[in-house]
Amino acid sequence: MSVHDELTAVQRSLDDLVRSVGRLEQHVGTDSLDIRRVRTDADHLRESVALLRASAPPEPAKQERVPIPDTPYDRALWTDAEDEGLGSREGHAP
């Protein structure tokens, strides 16, 4: 996974946390010191992830894939080419 994928996963988890804290606030109430502390911590985490995302290196450009057919190449492409390397067409080295 890339850094951007990891940051996106962290952001999704953090969004789930914020939603859960909101539901918890409905049950417990917002007057509790503990729930205010949890809300503040979640907000600080959100700010920290935003800073991480801003300082992350840019995503590399996606390269286009070029399909290569499985059919053999036209033999006329190789008429003027010289054999290079070891071996010969007959399979015997010089």
**pTM of the entire structure?**
0.58
Please tell me the least confidently modeled range out of 23-37, 42-56, 75-89: 75-89
Average pLDDT over residues 4-12: 92
Structure confidence at residue 16 (pLDDT): 95
Report whether 14 contacts 53 (CB < 8 A).
no
Which residues make Cβ contacts (< 8 Å) with residue 46, sequence separation at least 6? 14, 18
φ, ψ of residue 56 in degrees (nearest 5): -70, 150
Question: How far is residue 48's CA from residue 75's CA, in Å, rounded to a whole number?
Answer: 61
